[in-house]
Amino acid sequence: MHAMKDLTTTLLVLGGGPGGYVAAIRAGQLGVPTILVEGVALGGTCLNIGCIPSKAFIHAAQAYEEARHQANGSPLGVRVQSPTLDLAQTVRWKDGIVERLTTGVGALLKKAGVRVIRGHARIVDGKTLEVHASDASDPVRIRCEHLLLATGSVPVELPGLPFGGPVISSTQALSPAALPRRLVVVGAGYIGLELGIAYRKMGAEVAVVEATEHVLPAYDAELTRPVLATLKRLGVVLHLGCSVQGLSADGKAVRVRTATADEFPLPADQVLVAAGRRPRTEGFGLEGLQLDMAGRSVKIDDQCRTSMRNVWAIGDLTGEPMLAHRAMAQGEMVAELVAGNQRRWAPAAIPAVCFTDPEVVVVGLNPTDAQTAGIDAVHAVFPFAANGRSMTLESTDGFVRVVARRDNHLVIGWQAVGRGVSELSAAFGQSIEMGARLEDVAGTIHAHPTLGEAVQEAALRALGHALHV
Ligand code: FAD
Ligand code: NAD
């Protein structure tokens, strides 16, 4: 029989993902006594099985595909002979990055004076957690003044295709023991396309089944056109407007139903289900708090307060957009509020990047969003085909688009697709958050030759005087 240990603290953070660990670090920096409870690994989904490992995987796949491109008689004059991929080494390299980052998070928490308790937590009430430690030491009861819920999300399971055997989620897809010969991906969203493209580049045959008529349905058709072109070039087979029914009797194919209700088998050695994620609300006593919900997410106000006093919630648990940088920003805000500072959630925009080939970035409103919001807006596009740097990178597909109010030229949105555009998200986000006008962006000297010149040129074009197109 274990004895229960008792601890008390001011802020108790449940979940050590980007939301929870950032909240804890900031609270520690502000002198708030803080305990963080994590059941699996510091860094959460993002560092262990999400953002970071997927980007490592995508980079390795790209390096392999480039080596093969050179081997096939590159116009650059680089000559390489029959490159091969050592998948076990790729996974080890990826794991090494994860290890460095998660160890770093542990060190940052320690430096901030945060106590980390490893184990699965159960909510007793709005001020108490019970934690069963991972190392089988005595269970701990922790009482707090403020409880911050940051339990993240889990992959959606499809009724006909439960996880197990050949049916995997992104978690297994990021640590493969071997490459499947034929991979069927369900869902052409972020995960489906990021990982589907990487698997194809590594050598698997990839088919994607998507319920809507579009890949990356959250983005407009012009933005996704260069991604569609890559999918075609790589030979990724698309089944749009189709739904999956389940595995065939022999388990060697996915049964797919078309819009006209025909059914056909799609051969598969592995099936990656990437049909969205849902907040992690079950298995730790959350229902006992009877918090107000917004669908499947915990409902929060503009300070991340839940319907219960001094119980806060951040990150994927609070719904879309389920992005690591949103979780971190919410976490930082809650730490400040708990420390007694004045804060409110009012970002002008939250950037979103899809790390496909080429990359897609959206910040703020696109022309259709602006119209829907009743804003009289202008927009302009600058193509990378007219950008010198793009040519030297062998990648002239794509463009930068700016959206601004017609009356005062305030920039309200940016969209871009092209190689390396993820890094433009900083310039895009900053210009919107700082209230830049088209003239501000157009009047800033951008370094030559860079992709960033397309940002300046898009603004110039919206003003009617682009120089290089
Ligand atoms: P999580 O990161 O999910 O962390 C929650 C933590 O809480 C977990 O560590 C969990 O173990 C712990 N926990 C839960 N319940 C308990 C309990 N009862 N007791 C103890 N511990 C508990 N976002 C981006 O912005 N950019 C990307 O490029 C990107 N790529 C992604 C790629 C993939 C494959 C996936 C799956 C996701 C990706 N995301 C990306 C999304 C991003 O990972 C999430 O938005 C982010 O991790 C959410 O942070 P969070 O703190 O809310 O939750
Ligand atoms: P998603 O919402 O991006 O895409 C899911 C796709 O699956 C959609 O296109 C949807 O129409 C389709 N779909 C749903 N049910 C289906 C069915 N039964 N049959 C066929 N298609 C179906 O979700 P995801 O790709 O699983 O990613 C989950 C979340 O993780 C994202 O919402 C995002 O917030 C986060 N994420 C972000 C990044 C990034 O920022 N680069 C990368 C990966 C994941």
Q: Does 191 share its domain with 233?
A: yes
Q: Between these two residues, 138 and 153, which has the higher pLDDT value?
A: 153
216 CA → ligand 1 middle, Å: 21
Q: Does 131 share its domain with 174?
A: no
- Which-ligand-closest: CA of 173? 1
183 CA → ligand 1 middle, Å: 25
7 CA → ligand 2 middle, Å: 40
258, 274, 290 - which closes a domain: 274
User: How big, in percent rounded to 5, are the helix, strand and coil portions of the chain?
Assistant: 35, 25, 40
Residue 143 within a domain: yes
Tell me, what's the pLDDT at 1?
A: 56
Amino acid at 394: E
pLDDT in tens, 178-188: 999 999 999 99
Q: Does 38 share its domain with 139?
A: yes
Collapsing DSSP to helix, strand or coil, 401 comes out as strand
> What's the total number of domains in the chain?
3
Stated pTM of the model: 0.97
Residue 68 within a domain: no
Q: Best mutation site among 14, 45, 278 for ligand 1, i.e. most ligand atoms within 8 A of its Cβ?
A: 45
Tell me, what's the pLDDT at 74?
A: 86
Instruction: State the average pLDDT for the chain.
Output: 97
CA distance 424 to 58: 19
218, 239, 274 - which closes a domain: 274
Residues in CB range of 151: below 8 A, 6 or more apart: 14, 15, 279, 280, 281, 284, 286, 317
213 CA → ligand 2 middle, Å: 14
Q: Using the structure block, give the residue that is written with the tokens 């502000």.
A: 30
Q: Does 200 share its domain with 247?
A: yes
Residue 86 within a domain: no
Quick check: 241 and 258 in contact, CB under 8 A?
yes
Q: Does 29 share its domain with 108?
A: yes
Choosing from 2, 448, 465, 468, the catalytic residue is: 448
Q: Does 107 share its domain with 151?
A: yes
Which atom of ligand 1 is nearest to 55's Cα? 28
235, 252, 274 - which closes a domain: 274
Q: Does 12 share its domain with 148?
A: yes
Which CATH number covers residue 394? 3.30.390.30
Q: Best mutation site among 35, 46, 354 for ligand 1, i.e. most ligand atoms within 8 A of its Cβ?
A: 46
Residue 84 within a domain: no
Which CATH number covers residue 209? 3.50.50.60
2 pLDDT band, cuts 50/70/90, is low
- Which-ligand-closest: CA of 134? 1
* Pocket around ligand 2 at a 6 A CB cut-off: 158, 186-192, 194, 209-212, 217, 243-244, 274-277, 321-323, 352-355
276 CA → ligand 2 middle, Å: 4
pLDDT in tens, 269-278: 999 999 999 9
171 CA → ligand 1 middle, Å: 11
Which atom of ligand 1 is nearest to 45's Cα? 2
Closest C-alpha to ligand 2, atom 24: 276
Residue 236 within a domain: yes
pLDDT in tens, 35-47: 999 999 999 999 9
Residue 110 within a domain: yes
Residue 314 within a domain: yes
pLDDT in tens, 53-87: 999 999 999 999 999 988 888 899 998 899 999 99
Q: Does 35 share its domain with 149?
A: yes
Q: Which domain holds residue 290?
A: 7-48+93-155+278-338
Token representation of residue 167: 């049916």
Tell me, what's the pLDDT at 366?
A: 98
448 is catalytic: yes
CA distance 428 to 364: 9
Q: Does 22 share its domain with 101?
A: yes
Quick check: 14 and 147 in contact, CB under 8 A?
yes
Asked if residue 170 has its Cβ within 6 Å of ligand 1, the reply is yes
Q: Using the structure block, give the residue that is written with the tokens 């601890």.
A: 7
Quick check: 151 and 297 in contact, CB under 8 A?
no
Q: Does 98 share its domain with 37?
A: yes
What is the helix (H) or strand (E) element at residue 7, kind and residue range?
strand 5-14
DSSP state of 151: -
Residue 80 within a domain: no
Collapsing DSSP to helix, strand or coil, 208 comes out as strand
Quick check: 31 and 339 in contact, CB under 8 A?
yes
Q: Does 34 share its domain with 137?
A: yes
Closest C-alpha to ligand 2, atom 39: 354
Token representation of residue 224: 């996704």
Q: Does 458 share its domain with 380?
A: yes
How far CA 84 is from CA of 61, 87, 415, in Å, comes to 11, 9, 36
